[in-house]
Structure 1
């Protein structure tokens, strides 16, 4: 698995699907920007079959032209690639459901096809498909929407997003690498786009998509980073928001420095689920109790730090473990990887790092462009020392320095999520989510006030609605909201259900 550090991107979803098949079978200021919110007009979009790799013969694609800089609406324009999985029952069609799978940096163009793929345990219910045209899109800077680059080298890509520093000296080395990457981003052929690849601008793009579709309002389903994108949109355009579902939630600050550090407690909260699985399956030889499995983790990490095996060092081992905790379906693969490392057997094939330049580059543009990150190396060294002890599984990586420490200051203040607007937001969240822990969801819920309701499901993993999510209480609550508009009168707690 590719260690992206937190958000569930399309590449992670595809990797998770391959695992399943192969192994188991500032709102006021923003709203005043010219050209931000316009009324619906009849759609003039010309839809065509999507690229061959879309995975669906029924998915249609087109582009919507938007300003690169919304402060200069007559200046440079870029094309946003969008897709549509049209309702097959026009008489039941309610409107459009925009979707975002997370990231940032993940393509969403073929996400509608993925959502309805019957290979998943819980595809998007037919009742939802009937009532909406499901819309996907590549956010600006990603995939087919004016992609950006930081000119990553193969060596930089191989480090991925969770390098694990073992000492203050390692943090200092990582700082030099991070500084180099930030410099590459600001001098690449797409450097002119750097200030404008932000969540707020993507939300403005969403409203241009709404207008191009000829819709007075949009409904929305966003997961992971997509929850922050949805929160920003419905804050900036409350009058254009219909039914908004936010699944696996970031806090109201989005994917900022705090959110990244929260990967550390997130992994600690999730890991016992895997440890219990491994202990119950002694054929892997990882331990017969959860405590023994946890001890095996540290034994393998220490061994690989000294002597990497088949390209797997201690840092990549920790990141791979983190990624495969995103869903229970990854447990079998993760246990097999551990077993192979422990016994000297060949590792399962790992996804290549080639082709990740755009994903990693656009991810950085958003993370660093949305908010300011700490700048001093010494501060990161202190945090790494604390987190290494407090959260020993992956804490040092979550507290480590990255390119955002050397990024130009954001050109726009972060959007302040608040309680002004209609009560049309439903949040759904697993109790043990490694990528977006529960604490962020609770903070976002508080920020929304009566605009939102929060449904928590007693299950682990990243993603609480459809695909790999099996809690019927949570799934049914979300589906009811999307199809009828009915939300729980109060926040709801869904008990654990047998697999």
Structure 2
């Protein structure tokens, strides 16, 4: 699997998401651990230096002597032992992503000084294969991106979304077992501290991306004394009252931040995918085409669903805005639909992967925060969103499976605060469809003096070594290699 495929799998995972008092102190750090036994990793195209091991963790941290689950981790050791500082956790996006292949993949894009300083550590979070895995056995039709995200009916009704939510909730309740009730961001952070202890590291550094920024922030909140250098890249709003509900809602702002870049590209003279003479014409043409496909869908054999309707076009738009390199995917879809034809069926991960990603997504988003359980609670918000943000047609405020689950979160979401060491660097693109700048600024405010933020004048999701710019990359690389951060928040124009 190449890095672009991994990124796309992470966006599928984003689509899945896109969230008491206990006798045992849940933030207690893990003590001494058994040494890890490293062996060959499963998978193709991996660096021969990468090795894998498993770490046993409690399923329920309020019952530390009870049932356990396994977390699979991977490692490529420091390339210069004399310069080694410690270990760098590569925290994946999602919920429903993993970073097991990242030491062999994006980890090798890190500058030499960073690869010399750290062992690169990937992992599959609880619930994700090959760690102890969860599966809801959803109806295959419910694995389409247009079902995993709550796109309303063409008239804006959420009745169909509520029916999908009930189907998914029933399947997860029936097939997800006890594990699905213990999949949460806080538990992933606790698992990572067990990984840290198993690695024999008194403190650990991290590079968290997308949903991984929230995991990294929660880890830094629960275990501040165990953190070294923390990079949070493409940042989520940490509002503990909304969590993933807020991230879903952020798509309406993220699309408005990004669509003008696509429209400028798609109206440029000489572009073989040119859609209109002006950017305004690209936008109005997209809205007209989506409305026409709502009324008159085109058959699309082999796709899921097997039609190209307005909702599929909008989802294609959303997915394509993650990376400017994917703009041609949306343009080709638009050009084909104008001629009443369809493009080739897009590639999709295997159904087993989609099932696993969906189940972990349901577990995380529903266990992180409580969701309303009545259609009326969503319909008004969807109607307002449709009026204000027509490109996303109300989807960002719709109901997901959590609206129908029969149980509530076991504990409140972790509140991110300014208490802890000043060792966090945020890096954020200005135009990011999935984690907009507005949400990143809220995380920056929550962290206070603990953090410095690098804002990058760039478009796309994932900033560092991906869709950012050289100025932002230099700032992050310098911090990881030397610990030196900008003296104050930095703008990379």
TM-score for the superposition, normalised by structure 1: 0.89
Match of 1:128 in 2: 114
Match of 2:255 in 1: 267
Alpha-carbon distance change, 387 to 437 in structure 1, aligned in 2, over 3 angstroms: same
- 1:474 offset after TM fit, Å? 0.6
Task: State the Cα deviation string for residues 109-153 of structure 1 (Å, max 9, x = none).
Answer: 112222145xxxxx2222211111110000001121111111111
Match of 1:302 in 2: 291
**How do 1:91-170 and structure 2 match up within 5 A?**
91-116=82-107, 123-158=109-144, 159-166=146-153, 170=157
- 1:58 offset after TM fit, Å? 2.4
Alpha-carbon distance change, 250 to 34 in structure 1, aligned in 2, over 3 angstroms: closer
Structure 1: runs of 5 or more not aligned: 1-7, 17-27, 118-122
Task: State the Cα deviation string for residues 308-335 of structure 1 (Å, max 9, x = none).
Answer: 3323221121111111111111112322
Match of 2:167 in 1: 180
Contact 2:150 2:400 in 1 (8 A): no
Matched, 1:456 2:447: no
Structure 2: runs of 5 or more not aligned: 13-19, 301-306
Inter-partner Cα distance in structure 1 for 2:73 and 2:103: 11
Aligned to 1:323, which of 309, 319, 344?
Answer: 319
Report the secondary structure of 1:262's partner residue.
Answer: helix
Match of 2:59 in 1: 68
- 1:336 offset after TM fit, Å? 2.1
Match of 1:431 in 2: 430
Task: State the Cα deviation string for residues 439-487 of structure 1 (Å, max 9, x = none).
Answer: 1111111111100111101111111111x22411111001110001011
- 1:226 offset after TM fit, Å? 0.2
Aligned to 2:187, which of 189, 201, 212?
Answer: 201
Aligned to 2:207, which of 209, 221, 226?
Answer: 221
Alpha-carbon distance change, 148 to 134 in structure 1, aligned in 2, over 3 angstroms: same
Aligned to 1:343, which of 336, 339, 344?
Answer: 339
Alpha-carbon distance change, 209 to 156 in structure 1, aligned in 2, over 3 angstroms: same
Contact 1:181 1:403 in 2 (8 A): yes
- 1:267 offset after TM fit, Å? 0.5
Report the secondary structure of 1:111's partner residue.
Answer: coil
Matched, 1:79 2:70: yes
Inter-partner Cα distance in structure 2 for 1:15 and 1:176: 24
Matched, 1:413 2:412: yes
Alpha-carbon distance change, 360 to 11 in structure 1, aligned in 2, over 3 angstroms: farther
Alpha-carbon distance change, 366 to 435 in structure 1, aligned in 2, over 3 angstroms: same
Matched, 1:277 2:265: yes
Inter-partner Cα distance in structure 2 for 1:315 and 1:233: 37
Match of 1:289 in 2: 278
Report the secondary structure of 1:216's partner residue.
Answer: coil
Aligned to 2:81, which of 90, 105, 108?
Answer: 90
Report the more deviating stretch, 53-62 or 163-172: 163-172
Inter-partner Cα distance in structure 1 for 2:376 and 2:295: 26
Alpha-carbon distance change, 127 to 29 in structure 1, aligned in 2, over 3 angstroms: farther
Match of 2:15 in 1: none
Q: CA RMSD in A?
A: 2.2
Aligned to 1:374, which of 351, 366, 372?
Answer: 372
Aligned to 1:53, which of 31, 44, 49?
Answer: 44
Inter-partner Cα distance in structure 2 for 1:165 and 1:114: 37
- 1:414 offset after TM fit, Å? 0.8
Report the more deviating stretch, 362-371 or 281-290: 281-290
Report the secondary structure of 2:272's partner residue.
Answer: helix
Match of 2:386 in 1: 388
Report the more deviating stretch, 154-163 or 454-463: 154-163
Matched, 1:479 2:477: yes
Matched, 1:469 2:467: yes
Matched, 1:37 2:29: yes
Aligned to 1:334, which of 330, 340, 364?
Answer: 330
TM-score for the superposition, normalised by structure 2: 0.90
Report the secondary structure of 1:170's partner residue.
Answer: coil
Inter-partner Cα distance in structure 2 for 1:228 and 1:384: 26
